Structure 1
Amino acid sequence: MSYKSHYRHFFELHPQQLHCAPHSHHYWPDVTRKAQLEYWDDSAVGVDHKWDKIFGEKVPHVQQRLAQLLNYPAPEQFVFAPNTHELLYRVISAFAQDQPLRILTTDSEFHSFSRQVRRLAERPQVAVTVVATEPFDSFASRWSDALAGAAHDLIFCSQVYFNSGVIAPWVETWLDQVPSDTQIIIDGYHGCGAIETDLSRVADRVFYLAGSYKYLQAGEGCCFMSVPRDCSLRPEYTGWFADFNSLAKPQQGPIDYANDGFRFAGATQDFSALYRLAAVLDWWHQEGLTVAQIHRHVQTQQQAFLAVLDVAQHPVLNRSRLLHNGLAEHGHFYTFELDSAEQVSELAVQLQQAGIATDYRYKRLRFGFALYHDPEDFHVLTQALSKVG
């Protein structure tokens, strides 16, 4: 089945492009354009009272949709922010700055975390243990050793590594090694909406971070985090949304927090992205489109892509350069590691000139796959690869 008709507006503006960067900048389906206008109209009608609709209708609706998507038992535990970094830092800010903070993570975390934790590590009381994800086939064992080797206050690990597309060992496989007072954050940004995710058994134990920019297809500005029920952390980095229901009360005495996920909320933000996310999730619901179906569709595109590569026999861009830990279950993008950053940037530019959009980081060139791809789309690669070095 082809889903191209749902992305008409983006395709009309890029008619000659094979967009292989949805893991970075995903095309938005047409339903999001109507949602953007709906936000404008609601703002015009409601003015100051638009918040009544946003918090009374839209936020609970998206919370319900996310709970359905992730098999999460408590929709009210989802909190929203313009980006994951805000939510991440609110969790970090719940730890006293003058006390030791021991963090366990990997060397394949996105910059929102990796940059922040490098800065935190400049404090003498912060200790960061970093486990290399490669070689992938031994990571689970080495991660287990790190868990057993020392106590940690915070564990941060991706669901799908952004720099390879490899799926990490799911938290349930190692959760029993973690003390109950250790906070766990799973970065689901490259997994949510792409890989089937069931949070039902870990809902009261982990924070799950994700957002609408990648596979949820609604663009930037709507990230979210699930917060374990009965969480009593008191983030120092806090905003007025975090105790929204008490705004009419005197703002004196101890700082109070909401008793749900909004204890990690911030302050005023543009909720147009939440409208767009609602439109995408409603579209999936109306179509009966599940993450499992999306995943199978993408796997078909990935097989078609690899078949073209095998025929092309390009000296650089080929299966031998593909990073993976078994292709039966892999994220929705392929990453090829080449010899140098210069080689990657040159190849990416040549592909762009041939109408093929990719993206790259250092020595790694990434090709993403989406609902709006069909197997025949990748035939254009054959001619393009015959002309690029």
Structure 2
Amino acid sequence: MSYKKHYSRYLAEHPNSLHFAPHSHHYWPDVTRDAQLAYWDDSARGVDHKWGTIFGERVPAVQKYLAQLLNHPYPEQFVFASNTHELLYRVISSYAPNKPLKILSTDSEFHSFSRQIRRLQERPEVEFVSIATEPFATFESRWLEAIQQQTFDLIFTSQVFYNSGIVAPELNTWIDAVPSRTQIIIDGYHGCGAIPTDLASYADRVFYLAGGYKYLQAGEGCCFMAVPKGCQLRPEFTGWFADFANLAKPQKAQVEYADDGMRFAGATMDFSAVYRLESVLAWWYRDGLTVAAMHDYVKQLQQAFLTILDEVKHPHINRQNLLAKDLNHHGHFLTFKLVNAETVEQLAAHLSQHGIETDYRGERLRFGFAIYHDVEDYQQLKNALTQL
């Protein structure tokens, strides 16, 4: 089955390109254009009163879709922001800056987190423990050992690591070893909408972060966090949305927060991305297009891709240079670890000249897959590789 008809506008803009970077910036389906215009129309009709439509209709609709997508029992626990970093820092700001803060994470988190942690470590009160994800074969045991040996205030880990595509250990393999006072944050950005995810058992325990820029296909500007049911943290980094329902009431000396996910909300933002996300999730729901079905489709694409590599026998881009050989616990992009960054840059430039759009990080070259690919498209890749 081909899904290309749903992406006709983006594909028309790039008729000679094979986009192998949807894990970086996913093509938007056609439904998002109508959603963008719907936001304009609602703003024109409502002007200052549009917030009633946004918070009364659009936000609840997306909350319900996300809860269904992730099998999360509490739609009201989803809160939105322009980026995940904003939401992450609200959780961190719940801890007093003059008190000790001990954080566990890995060496493979996205740049925003790693940069923020480096800055926080300039505080003498902050202690950071980082576990190397490589070698992957022993990561799960080393991760669990770290959790068992020490007590942390905060644990942060990706669902799928952005620099490899490796799926992190399942929550049920380590969460029972975490004390109840420790906050757990899962960065689901490279997993949500790609890897089937079930949060039902963790809805009162885990913060789950993700957004529309990648596999949710709605573009930048719409990120969200599932907040544990009953969470009573009081983020210092807060805004007027965080108690929106009581805005008209007299404000007390004690800063109050919503009793649901909105306690981690910020302030005024552009909600057009929320409209776009609603349109994507509504399309999936309407057509019965599940994450599991898309994941199976992508796995078929990946196998077709690897078959072509086996045929071409390229000296660099080959199965032997895959960073992870086992694709059973893998996201929707494949990472090749090559001899050096210069080789990667040269290969990426050559591929781009032949309409093959990839992305790279240092000595790692990444190929991503999406449902707007067909197996037949990969003949273009085969032609490009044979000319390298």
TM-score, normalization: structure 2? 0.99
Q: Which amino acid aligns with 1:25?
A: H
In structure 2, distance between residues paired with 1:380 and 1:248: 60
One-letter code aligned to 2:309: L
| 1:188 aligns to 2:188 (yes or no) | yes
Give, in whole Å, the separation in 2 of the partners of 1:314 and 1:166: 24
* 1:1-389 correspondence runs (5 A): 1-324=1-324, 326-388=326-388
- CA deviation map 1:124-159 (0-9, x unaligned): 110100000011111000001100111100000000
Name the SS of the counterpart of 1:328 in structure 2: helix
Deviation at 1:325, TM superposition (A): 5.6
**What whole-Å deviation, never above 9, does each CA across 1:219-243 have from its counterpart, x for those lacking one?**
0000000001110100000000001
C-alpha distance in structure 1 between counterparts of 2:356 and 2:297, whole Å: 20
SS, match of residue 201 in structure 1? helix
Could you tell me whether the CA contact under 8 Å between 1:166 and 1:325 is conserved in 2? no
**1:249 Cα deviation after fit:** 1.6
Task: Verify the 8 A CA contact 1:157 1:186 in the aligned structure 2.
Answer: yes
Q: Which amino acid counterpart does residue 90 of structure 2 have in structure 1?
A: R
By how many angstroms is 1:329 displaced? 3.1
**CA-to-partner distance for each residue in 1:30-78, whole Å, 9 max, x for gaps?**
0000000000011011111111100000000000000000000000000
Amino acid at match of 2:315: P
Q: Distance in 1 between matches of 2:323 and 2:338?
A: 10
Q: Distance in 2 between matches of 1:264 and 1:134?
A: 34
Q: Is 1:137–1:325's contact at 8 Å kept on the other side of the alignment?
A: no
Q: Aligned equivalents of 1:349 and 1:129: distance in 2? A: 37
- Which whole-Å CA distance do the structure 2 matches of 1:280 and 1:385 have between them? 34
CA distance in 1, matches of 2:383, 2:12: 23
Q: Give, as a single letter, the amino acid of the residue that structure 2 aligns with 1:70.
A: L
Instruction: Report runs of 4+ in structure 1 exceeding 6 Å deviation.
Output: none
Distance 1:35 1:276, change over 3 A: same
Q: What are the Cα deviations for residues 92-129 of structure 1, in whole angstroms up to 9, with x where unaligned?
A: 00001001100000011011211101110111110100
Take 2:50 and 2:172, find their aligned partners in 1: how far apart are those partners?
40
- Paired residues, what number? 388
Q: Identity, % of aligned pairs? A: 66
Q: Which consecutive residues of structure 1, in runs of 5 or more, have no partner in the other structure?
A: none
- Give yes or no for contact 1:84–1:112 (8 Å, CA) kept in 2: no
Letter in 2 for 1:289: L
How far has the Cα of 1:288 moved from its partner? Answer: 0.4
Question: For residue 132 of structure 1, what is the amino acid of its counterpart?
Answer: A
In structure 2, C-alpha distance between the alignment counterparts of 1:32 and 1:173, rounded to whole Å: 38
SS in 1 for 2:108: coil
Q: Give 1:330 deviation, angstroms.
A: 1.2
Change (3 A) 1:12 1:371: same
1:192 aligned partner, one-letter code: C
Question: CA separation of 1:90/1:21 partners in 2, compared to 1, >3 Å: closer, same or farther?
Answer: same
Letter in 1 for 2:21: A
> Matched residues in 1 for 2:14 and 2:372: separation?
13
* Partner deviation per Cα, 1:202-256 (whole Å, 9 max, x = no partner): 0100000000000000000000000011101000000000010111122241000
Shift of residue 171, structure 1, vs aligned partner: 1.4
Per-residue CA deviation, residues 170-197 of structure 1 (Å, 9 max, x unaligned), is: 1121000000000000000000000000
Output the CA distance in 2 between the equivalents of 1:172 and 1:279: 32
Secondary structure in 2 aligned to 1:210? strand
Whether the aligned pair in 2 keeps the contact of 1:172 and 1:202 (CA below 8 Å) is: no
Runs of 5+ in structure 2 lacking a partner?
A: none
Q: CA RMSD in A?
A: 0.7
8 Å CA contact 1:23, 1:190 repeated in 2: yes
